[in-house]
Amino acid sequence: MTDTASTITTTPEAQLKSVAHGIEDMTIRGAAIIAQAAAGALGAYARGIWAECATITIEEFQQKMDWAATTLVSTRPTAVSLPNAVRIVNRYPKTTVAEASETVIKQADEFISHSKDAARRIGQIGQKRIRNGDTIMTICNSSVAISIIMAAHNAGKNISVIACETRPRLQGHITAAQLSAAGIPVSLIVDSAARTFMKEVDLVITGADAVTITGAVVNKIGTSQLALAAHESRKNFIVAAETYKFAPATVMGDYIEIEERSANEVITPDEIKAKGLSNVTIRNPAFDVTPPEYIDLIVTEIGVFPPAMSYRIIHDHLGWDLEDTE
C-alpha cells in the first residue's frame, strides 16, 4: 500500500463511526433511511473486519459487532427502526468468523431491499385511500408517506398537498420540493396554520418513527396536533409505517424515549443574547406521541390495520419472543 493510499483508506471502525455521526447530526435522517444506513454500516463493518483481521476469533468478532451495534443504536433514541434494523441484521451463528460475517452481510443486504420494497408496497396499498381530487396534509419528510402520495399521483389521481414546514429543522421544505418536482401542486404552511387549513384537507398522511403496543404513533413534533385537528374536522388520519417501526420493547412496558435536541436548532446563541432570552429555557423535543384514538389506519407492507392491532403485528409479524424484548 502506498503512503497516499494509506492516508485515504479509513478503517472499518472509522467508516462505521462516520455513519453513526451522520445519523446523529441528521445528515442521514428519517426512520427508514436511518434503518437502511445502519444495516448497511453493519454489513460493511462485518465485511471490513473479516477482510482486515482474518485471524480474529468468533468471540472477538462478536465484541466488535456488539460495539458497532451499540454505537449505531446510541445515535438517536426515538426511531425504533434503528434498534430493530440492528437487531435483525446483527444475528449470526457463533461458529466461524467467515460464517458469522457472511450472515451479517447477507442480512444487511436483505434488510435494505426489504425496506425499499416495503415502502413501495405501502405506497401501492395506501394510495387506494386517496380519491381523485383529494387534498392531503402532511408533516416533516416521511419517505413512506411520500410513497403513498406519489403512488396516488402516478395512478393518475388529481391531488394536491399541504405540507407543514416542520419547525425547527424545516424538513417540510424537502417534502414540498420533492412533491412539487413530481408535478403535484403543493402549498407550504407554517405549522401553526395546520388547524386553519384543515377544512381544505380530505385526509392527513404522516410517517412514523415508532408504533407502540397501544397503537400510539411517535412521529415528528407537531404530528399529534395535526391528528387532533383532523379528528375535530372528521378527516381521516393515516400513518404509513413499515412493520419494523413497531416497537417490541413497549410490550414489556417500556416507553419510547422522545429525543430532545439542542436549543440552537430553535434559536442561535446570538439571538438568545440579543433578545434578552438568556434566562429562558428553550425546549426542543423532536417528536411527539399521537394517541391511537386519533388514528384511523396504519398502512404497513402487509396491509392496513387499526392501531388496536399493533400487538398482533409485533407478536406475529416481528415474531420475537417477549423475553427477548426485556
Residues that bind ligand RUB (CB under 6 A): 29-33, 79, 140, 142-145, 171, 207-209, 219-220, 286
Measured from the CB atom, the residue of 30 and 126 that comes closer to ligand RUB is 30
- Give strand pairing partners of 139: 164
CA distances to 120, 138, 326 from 151, rounded to whole Å, are 8, 15, 38
Q: Of the listed 134, 164, 209, 296, which one is catalytic?
A: 209
Residue number, nearest CB to ligand RUB? 207
Measured from the CB atom, the residue of 103 and 284 that comes closer to ligand RUB is 284
Measured from the CB atom, the residue of 126 and 207 that comes closer to ligand RUB is 207
Q: Of the listed 134, 140, 164, 296, which one is catalytic?
A: 140
Is 140 annotated in the active site? yes
Closest CB 235 distance from ligand RUB, rounded Å = 19
| Cα diameter, the chain | 67
Closest CB 287 distance from ligand RUB, rounded Å = 6
Closest CB 230 distance from ligand RUB, rounded Å = 16
Measured from the CB atom, the residue of 46 and 286 that comes closer to ligand RUB is 286
Q: Whole-angstrom Cα distance, residue 118 to residue 58? A: 33
Is 209 annotated in the active site? yes
Q: Among 162, 159, 163, which Cα is nearest to 129's? A: 159
Run of H or E residues at 166 = none
Neighbours of 292 (CB within 10 A): 16
Give DSSP secondary structure letters for 306-325.
-GGGHHHIIIIII---GGGG
Measured from the CB atom, the residue of 97 and 130 that comes closer to ligand RUB is 130
Closest CB 94 distance from ligand RUB, rounded Å = 32
Chain centre to alpha carbon of residue 200: 28
Any idea what DSSP says for residue 160? Answer: E
Query: What residue has cell string 416542520?
Result: 166
Looking at residue 193, its amino acid is A
Closest CB 183 distance from ligand RUB, rounded Å = 21
Q: Whole-angstrom Cα distance, residue 279 to residue 14? A: 40
Neighbours of 255 (CB within 10 A): 11
Q: Tell me which residues are annotated as active site.
A: 140, 209
